Chain A
């Protein structure tokens, strides 16, 4: 093995090149500090994404499976989810999970930041929707967000591009919502409905979850990163961080990582920013032990890894007599409903859920295989008729519940499982709460009503989708009280004054919508606060 190169010290070391790491790198470029990002994965090659190949659907079951335990690439780390009814899903590359995300791009609602004050549960955030509002807008511009202004479920906002087409699925299910007199609205999406900023518009290539060959979907390897790199940020790939190190004063002074050749290296830094997501960040903090922090870095509160929140998901599929071209279109949500988003305790639960109508992923292979596993499309005689009735004749809806923080839902280090560099793997222990279960039950019943109102002749329901750990939140929460939170209101660790967290770990509560717009707005907000406080960044 050759000797590890000597690294020059940097001002800012960012760990993880996903949604949040890219946003903060871009935000800090104007400081002219020396910024380096270490990312365990590689750059992607869009010209080799599956939609450029004939067997594009099969890739979802192999190298583009969204479950790292199934994918098992060298860039991945395993996650022990034996104690969880929900699997952790992610992607590890420059772009992080935005490589495979569906780019449905809602913001958290104003009430999501005040759940204790409004509903007497969990905790309020130390910041408000209004604090994030300018950064939501800034992020929408950099990512390129399509949507329709005027949704009465939000304060005014104005997406830079017009909405994506509803498609037949959206039109038909919207008819169901209309019949019931329930809210619906075209979804905001980080997918271009028109050419924008040198990128071309969406071609409706179907499965966005195996990368966007067209570059219309805003994964951060094609939005934030090129701009940040042009402005001087350095990004090193195939560098997997094992731990953050401390100096004798208890300040972070860098990170130990393994490079592409497996050599152990050290990177010295003045400021360290964690952006490895709600599972990857607590994993590395917990693995960074010292005499000062025997239970993991910045973990005096004992909360690193605790309060893990997903968005538990129930799934409803309506089968229609008419052809809906279900497999066409960008995969994510085309329309959504916030009818049951805000708390109404007469429903038997607090907080609420989002109903998202999805399309684009039920291509012929996926339809046939799903039918094989559920028994609805048999192999042998009868296959073609059953396939004909279902393929392109279904509309699906996701009921996405707001999960509340519970300390026993957590990420710890697995005592045995390790990644290819020998770093302990994360272990997830998670139980679905009664409140979340009641939300899902309510959503399933309402979802069936919508499908029937829209004309479905048959409705299939899945009460909890195992493959739904897309959103990884809450494991290094923000707050003003060091006893009840890991970082302060601008992402700085209470215990280590030059260590920041900018990813979904920060979330105090989860809201009932996809989080990436809010994660990135938070990263930009934290970047802004850092820039404003540069002279006294480490002061009490």
Chain B
């Protein structure tokens, strides 16, 4: 990818998932989307190239609001392709260990660590039982 194309891609990633207002959550452009594409979404690359061709050269220089507007137009012209783009950006973003730490879930893969969950309180079942047999024969 040439420099101009990768600037446009970064701008698009930053449009779909910008950093959070408080700066806590990173923008999707800060993660290594190219590595994700190569290792996990090679099939998507031609679709991505097609989507990117719909964003003109000056896209990367536009302010966020204008980029959002342009992305909406592209989305309504081809929602199928755009939904695939959103899928892959989210997939890359939400498997990232930094992001997962920030949203309070441990890094993937979840096997073999697993999760702890509370056993829960079963004492109110005594009242459920006190209502008596509830089945018919």
Contact = CB atoms under 8 A, between A and B. Distances in A.
Interface of A: 49, 51-58, 61, 109-111, 114, 118, 129, 148, 150, 152-155, 163, 165-168, 170-171, 174, 178, 183-186, 203-206, 213-214, 323, 325, 327-329, 338, 341-342, 363-365, 368-369, 372, 379-381, 383-385, 387-388, 391-392
Interface string B103-137: 11101111111111111111011011101111111
A207 to B, nearest CB: 9
B118 A166 contact: yes
A381 B68 contact: yes
A146 B23 CA distance: 45
Highest count of chain B CB atoms <10 Å: which of A109, A214, A342, A368: A368
Given A150-B125, A167-B118, A325-B117, A55 B111 contact: no
B78 to A, nearest CB: 15
Given A152-B129, A206-B115, A379-B86, A110 B134 contact: no
B119 A165 contact: yes
A329 B117 contact: yes
Interface string B14-33: 01111011001100000000
B64 interface: yes
Nearest to B100: A364
A385 B119 contact: no
Given A150-B129, A214-B114, A329-B115, A183 B87 contact: no
B91 interface: yes
Contacts of A166: 118-122
Contacts of B18: 380-381, 383
B111 A186 contact: no
A184 B127 CA distance: 10
B95 interface: yes
A56 B20 contact: no
Contacts of A365: 90-91, 94-95
Dominant secondary structure at the B interface: loop
B71 interface: yes
Contacts of A168: 117-118
Contacts, number: 165
A369 B85 CA distance: 11
A380 B68 contact: yes
Interface in B29-44: 40
Given A56-B110, A167-B117, A381-B64, A110 B137 contact: yes
B64 A178 contact: no
Contact residue range for chain B? 35 or more
Contacts of A114: 137
Given A54-B109, A183-B128, A152 B133 contact: yes
A327 B117 CA distance: 11
Contacts of B121: 166, 171
Given A214-B114, A365-B91, 20 more contacts: A51-B109, A52-B111, A54-B108, A56-B109, A109-B135, A152-B132, A153-B134, A163-B122, A166-B121, A174-B124, A206-B115, A213-B111, A323-B104, A342-B136, A372-B83, A380-B16, A380-B17, A380-B68, A384-B21, A388-B103
Nearest to A182: B128
B16 A55 contact: no
B17 A379 contact: yes
Dominant secondary structure at the A interface: loop
Nearest to B89: A379
B111 A178 contact: no
A380 B13 CA distance: 9
Contacts of A55: 40, 91, 95, 108
A165 B120 CA distance: 6
Contacts of B107: 54
Contacts of A49: 111
A58 B134 CA distance: 42
Contact of A152 (B111, B112, B131): B131
B89 to A, nearest CB: 8
A171 B118 contact: yes
A57 B96 CA distance: 13
A148 B122 contact: yes
Contacts of B115: 203-206, 325, 328-329
Given A174-B120, A328-B115, A379-B16, A364 B110 contact: no
5 contacts: A167-B117, A167-B118, A168-B117, A170-B120, A186-B120
A333 to B, nearest CB: 14
Nearest to B69: A380
Contact of A165 (B40, B68, B117, B136): B117
Contact of A185 (B99, B105, B128, B133): B128
Contacts of A369: 86-87, 90
Interface string B46-71: 00000000000000000010001001
B110 A206 contact: yes
Contacts of B89: 379
Contacts of A203: 111-115
B119 A338 contact: no
Contacts of B137: 110-111, 114, 129
Contacts of A385: 20-21
Given A54-B95, A55-B95, A148-B122, A327 B105 contact: yes
Nearest to A167: B117
